[in-house]
Amino acid sequence: MRGSLQAYKQVSVNAQLASASPHRIIQMLYAGAIERLIQGKAAMEQGNIAVKCERLTKALDIVLSLRDCLSMEDGGDIAKNLDALYDFMGSEISRANAENVTQPIDDVIGMLREIKSAWDQIPAEYHYLTETN
């Protein structure tokens, strides 16, 4: 049953991605990173090392993907600040995983929620803007 649910979720995510604006994709990445961090923290607290490592690694991959999406040439100070923040988040996720401590996870979740909240407030007319527009 769990495998079927996972397959359904994957199809749902793929369908959303196929029709998503660049803005929506970034929202999904933030939500995914937050979700994986929460799951990783829960696994850590339950002593499930394998799941902890897998979830925190996925969260780290998402944060690195967000970092890769930055346009350093066009983004100015905002892109530079986000680059440094994503670098810090990556270090904190790695530290939490290696040292088996939850505080860095809580800190990164807080930062991601704050950035996502700001991102969510971008007016709809800007959701499809890209570098080529």
* Percent of all residues in the chain with a pLDDT value above 70, rounded to a whole number: 80
Task: Taking residues 105-123, report their average pLDDT.
Answer: 94
Q: Which CATH number fits domain 21-120: 3.40.50.2300, 1.10.10.10, 1.20.120.340, 3.40.50.150?
A: 1.20.120.340
Q: What local confidence, expressed as pLDDT, does residue 133 receive?
A: 45
Task: Taking residues 42-50, report their average pLDDT.
Answer: 98
Other CB atoms within a 10 A radius of the CB of residue 103 amount to 12
Q: What local confidence, expressed as pLDDT, does residue 74 receive?
A: 87
Task: State phi, psi for 19 to the nearest 5 degrees.
Answer: -110, 5
Q: What local confidence, expressed as pLDDT, does residue 104 receive?
A: 98
Token pair for residue 41? 């923290």
Cα 66 to Cα 131: distance, rounded to the nearest angstrom: 16
Q: What local confidence, expressed as pLDDT, does residue 132 receive?
A: 46
User: pTM here?
Assistant: 0.82
